[in-house]
């Protein structure tokens, strides 16, 4: 007998109104019980799904337990990321590295100096807390008025500094030999047990117990202590908290100390279970798992982050059990992040709700004022500067050593990627940590077309660029729903996946150049050979010039103004009929096109596309290069690339290069937030100001830039004249408006 829809609705209504259903709803929505219930249901659902998928070849139960323990350590990283995001509205990209430095210190104390385990743990936690306090005092407070982009990139600089410290640390502690990455012996290593034919030791139990105690301690801290309540209030609205008398700066110090301690604890507990290679740095892979858990929790909920970390750890170890390849499990993180971002429709965190997550206006550099643009000395100055730059690029090649000449083409290719970052990050306001991954897309496709099909050089570049544009659009889809720094997590996952998975010959060998066949540089039209390093360097310069010209034309067009308007005020731009989705996707496409073209040039330059040539760390470095140069300026991006080239040319160790890049970025951003471009345009404006003074031309924008106490007497007269002219213009504008109304 057929049952009507109305009868079904009535039955469902009676079921939901039953006492048992009401009690279940109260438990599910409760502050504490709801979090526990969601964690239990989520973990049970994940195990059920894995059981159904792997029903014919189930892994041992111990794999799930082991994965859950590793996931708890990912959750610790996520806790620290959430704390800092809620306090400063940034993503701390140094979260894993600053904890790894303290963790490496504790491991070295155990392995080299034979310090007791408990003492090493206390020293690791203490050094982590100290690092957090120092970071807040020396860096975070100095960048208090900077844009979120600059502060986030400053944390990338911190990550490079901590990486350099990790490389130097074994030498500082007297370990002049390669230290084994095997887990160190602890008092708990001898206590072993078996779960489902999978052997574990007591270090795993210690890690699980410590994480659960930390979770309970954090809950009590935020609920019952004055400092914890102040942290919650500051996270809701720092300005309102300051008006209520809460010491916001002191609270920020507490948050950074807590986050650093959580990171140090996570890495230190991880080492006896998995091990840690000493003499290298952790890199962004471990950070990605913590970021994924924090993003799933929307940078807000510790309970959700705990569940997400558990689920990611179980999924990671289950996939690794069957594939025996860690790159496969790391590759799964990217679609998970993409899925959660795409399905979080209009679900914004508190930072988004309060408006604190919007981009601060990035520093824009004005063109030459029209009053001075056509003066002979200004025109000759522009011509002379352009000619000097051209001569330096063309003939400076002869001044380099043979090794430097070979590397020069790579630096020029990095410059093309820097131009693509100016378009995406500087003008569109979308931070990307995977730009070198987009270059890997172009390199892989170009290698295939050149080595397997002997395709035309120019056609290969265009096809590779189009492929990069398509991939960039797919990666940029979350930007249509979620604004701000969340997108950086997606692009970082993409960079890691590209290196570890998509460029692996084991999985995509048929789409890449054969490992035994070199990618030969072409002879254009049978006449112009690009085989030599010199000619290929000049060809790379031509491609860089095309990228700069196209980006310059883009910025001067209506679309360029739309991008900047969306970056500074998306709602205001929408009021003028601008489509944010279309503009953002076009920005991703154009940026991805040039990044992939750079990757195609890199494939020809190197003659192969090995995975180690596209590390995700280089994407972070390239972003730092652009911010050092000036994130909104094309000349600044080229200046930043030149700075990176100087570091590459010098005979410096990799550790010192990391230290110089990170420390140099922090120092420069503290003094000149606009980067090297701010210095360049400051000198230019000073020269233009002298020209205007000598010519007797009043340029209000140039005169107003100077502070009154620092001006000579004659500049005061120009300032007064400029103010008078401005007031007269305002009066005339009002009169004109009245006349229009009268008509």
CATH number of the domain to which 618 belongs: 1.10.3470
506 and 436 fall within a common domain = yes
Q: What is the pLDDT of residue 145?
A: 74
Q: What is the mean pLDDT of residues 181-210?
A: 80
Q: Is 563 within the bounds of a domain? A: yes
302 located within any domain: no
Backbone phi and psi for residue 523, each to the nearest 5 degrees, phi listed first: -115, 105
**pLDDT higher than 80, residue 350:** no
| 477 and 576 together in one domain | yes
My answer on whether 596 and 725 are in the same domain is: no
Q: How many domains does the chain have?
A: 3
For the ranges 39-53, 349-363, 565-579, the maximum mean pLDDT occurs at 565-579
Torsion, Cα of 147, 150, 156, 161 (10° steps): -120
pLDDT digits (tens, 9 = 90+) for 279-324: 556 667 788 888 888 888 888 888 888 888 888 888 888 888 777 7
Last residue of a domain, one of 619, 648, 668: 668
372-384: average pLDDT? 87
Last residue of a domain, one of 262, 282, 302: 282
Using CA atoms, how far apart are residues 436 and 31, in angstroms rounded to an integer?
43
In tens, the pLDDT along 16-50 reads 556 666 666 666 666 556 556 665 666 666 666 65
Mean pLDDT estimate for the chain: 79
pLDDT single digits (tens) 571-587: 888 888 888 888 889 99
Q: Among positive and negative, which fits the CA dihedral 68, 70, 73, 77?
A: negative
Q: Which domain holds residue 714?
A: 698-742
Do 634 and 731 share a domain, yes or no? no
Could you tell me if residue 588 is inside a domain? Answer: yes
Given pLDDT bands bounded at 50, 70 and 90, which one contains residue 719?
Answer: very low
Q: Does 644 lie in the same domain as 717?
A: no
Q: What is the average pLDDT across 390-417?
A: 87
pLDDT computed for residue 587 by the predictor: 92
592 near 437, Cβ under 8 Å?
Answer: no
Where is the domain boundary, 257, 282, 307?
A: 282
- Exposure letters 370-406 (e unless 16+ CB within 10 A, then b): ebbeebeebeebeeeeeeeeeeebeeebeeeeeeeee
Question: By the 8 A CB rule, do 15 and 21 touch?
Answer: yes
- Tell me the average pLDDT across 481-499: 77
Q: What is the dihedral of CA 565, 569, 574, 580, to 10 degrees?
A: 70
Q: 418 is written with which tokens?
A: 């820097």
In a shared domain, residues 447 and 567: yes
Assess whether 704 and 614 both reside in one domain.
no
In a domain, 255, yes or no: yes
Whole-prediction pTM: 0.81
Q: Is residue 380 part of a domain?
A: no
Question: Is 37 part of a structural domain of the chain?
Answer: no
Q: Contact 208/72 with Cβ under 8 angstroms?
A: yes
With cut-offs at 50, 70 and 90, classify the pLDDT of residue 729: very low
Can you give the pLDDT at residue 723? 43
Same domain, 663 and 734: no
Flag whether 654 is in a domain: yes
Task: Please report the pLDDT score of residue 133 as a whole number.
Answer: 92
Is 323 within the bounds of a domain? no
Q: Which two tokens stand for residue 618?
A: 């280089």
> How far is Cα 71 from Cα 313, in angstroms, rounded to an integer?
4
Segment 257-278 mean pLDDT? 84
Does residue 508 sit in the same domain as residue 550? yes
734 lies in the same domain as 597? no
Identify the top-confidence range among 8-12, 20-24, 405-409, 514-518: 405-409
Enter the tokens of residue 313. Answer: 């750890």
* Tens-digit pLDDT profile for residues 669-718: 788 877 888 888 888 888 888 888 888 887 776 765 554 444 444 444 44
């Amino acid at each position: 007998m057929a049952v009507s829809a109305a009868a079904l609705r009535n039955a469902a209504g009676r079921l939901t109104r039953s006492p048992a259903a009401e009690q279940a709803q109260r438990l599910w929505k409760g502050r504490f019980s709801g979090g526990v219930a969601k964690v239990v249901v989520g973990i049970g659902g994940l195990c059920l799904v894995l059981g159904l998928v792997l029903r014919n070849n189930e892994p041992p139960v111990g794999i799930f337990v082991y994965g859950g323990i590793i996931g708890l350590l990912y959750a610790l990283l996520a806790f620290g990321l959430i704390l800092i995001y809620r306090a400063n509205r940034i993503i701390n990209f140094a979260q894993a590295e600053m904890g790894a430095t303290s963790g490496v210190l504790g491991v070295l104390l155990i392995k080299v100096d034979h310090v007791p385990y408990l003492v090493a743990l206390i020293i690791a936690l203490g050094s982590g807390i100290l690092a957090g306090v120092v970071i807040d005092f020396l860096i975070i407070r100095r960048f208090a008025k900077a844009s979120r982009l600059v502060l986030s990139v400053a944390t990338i600089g911190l990550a490079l500094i901590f990486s350099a410290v990790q490389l130097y640390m074994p030498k500082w502690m007297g370990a002049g030999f390669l230290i084994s990455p095997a887990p160190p012996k602890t008092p708990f290593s001898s206590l072993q047990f078996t779960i489902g034919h999978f052997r574990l030791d007591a270090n795993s139990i210690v890690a699980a117990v410590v994480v659960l105690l930390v979770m309970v301690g954090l809950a009590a801290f935020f609920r019952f202590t004055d400092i914890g309540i102040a942290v919650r209030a500051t996270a809701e609205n720092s300005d309102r908290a300051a008006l209520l008398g809460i010491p916001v700066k002191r609270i920020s110090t507490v948050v950074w100390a807590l986050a650093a301690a959580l990171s140090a604890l996570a890495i230190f507990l991880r080492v006896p279970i998995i091990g840690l290679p000493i003499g290298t740095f952790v890199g962004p892979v471990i950070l990605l798992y913590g970021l994924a858990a924090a993003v799933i929790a929307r940078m807000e909920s510790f309970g959700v982050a705990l569940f997400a970390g558990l689920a990611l750890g179980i999924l990671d170890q289950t996939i690794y059990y069957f594939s025996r390849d860690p790159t496969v499990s790391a590759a799964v993180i990217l679609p998970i992040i993409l899925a959660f971002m795409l399905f979080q429709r209009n679900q914004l965190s508190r930072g988004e709700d309060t408006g604190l997550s919007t981009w601060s206006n990035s520093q824009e550099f004005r063109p030459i004022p029209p009053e001075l643009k056509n003066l002979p000395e200004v025109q000759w100055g522009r011509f002379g500067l352009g000619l000097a730059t051209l001569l330096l690029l063309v003939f400076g090649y002869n001044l380099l050593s043979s090794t430097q000449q070979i590397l020069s083409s790579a630096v020029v290719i990095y410059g093309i990627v820097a131009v693509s970052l100016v378009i995406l990050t500087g003008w569109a306001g979308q931070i990307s940590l995977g730009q070198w991954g987009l270059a890997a897309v172009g390199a892989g496709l170009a290698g295939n077309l050149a080595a397997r099909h002997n395709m035309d050089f120019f056609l290969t570049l265009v096809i590779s660029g189009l492929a990069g544009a398509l991939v960039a659009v797919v990666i940029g889809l979350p930007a249509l729903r979620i604004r701000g720094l969340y997108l950086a997590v997606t692009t970082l996952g993409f960079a890691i996946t590209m290196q570890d998975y998509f460029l692996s010959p084991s999985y995509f060998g048929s789409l890449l150049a054969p490992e035994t066949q070199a990618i030969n540089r072409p002879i254009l039209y049978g006449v112009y050979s690009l085989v030599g390093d010199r000619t290929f360097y000049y060809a790379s310069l031509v491609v860089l010039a095309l990228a700069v010209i196209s980006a310059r034309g883009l910025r001067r067009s209506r679309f360029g103004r739309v991008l900047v308007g969306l970056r500074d005020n998306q709602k205001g731009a929408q009021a003028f009929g601008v489509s944010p989705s279309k503009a953002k996707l076009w920005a991703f496409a154009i940026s991805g096109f040039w990044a992939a073209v750079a990757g195609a040039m890199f494939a020809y330059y190197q003659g192969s596309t090995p995975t180690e040539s596209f590390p995700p760390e280089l994407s972070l470095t390239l972003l730092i290069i652009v911010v050092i140069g000036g994130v909104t300026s094309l000349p600044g991006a080229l200046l930043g690339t030149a700075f990176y080239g100087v570091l590459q040319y010098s005979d410096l160790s990799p550790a010192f290069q990391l230290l110089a890049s990170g420390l140099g970025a922090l120092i420069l951003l503290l003094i000149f937030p606009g980067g090297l471009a701010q210095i360049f345009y400051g000198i230019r404006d000073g020269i233009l100001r002298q020209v205007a003074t000598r010519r007797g031309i009043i340029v209000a924008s140039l005169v107003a830039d100077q502070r009154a106490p620092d001006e000579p007497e004659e500049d005061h007269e120009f300032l007064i004249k400029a103010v008078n002219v401005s007031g007269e213009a305002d009066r005339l504008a009002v009169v004109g408006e009245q006349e229009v109304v009268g008509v």
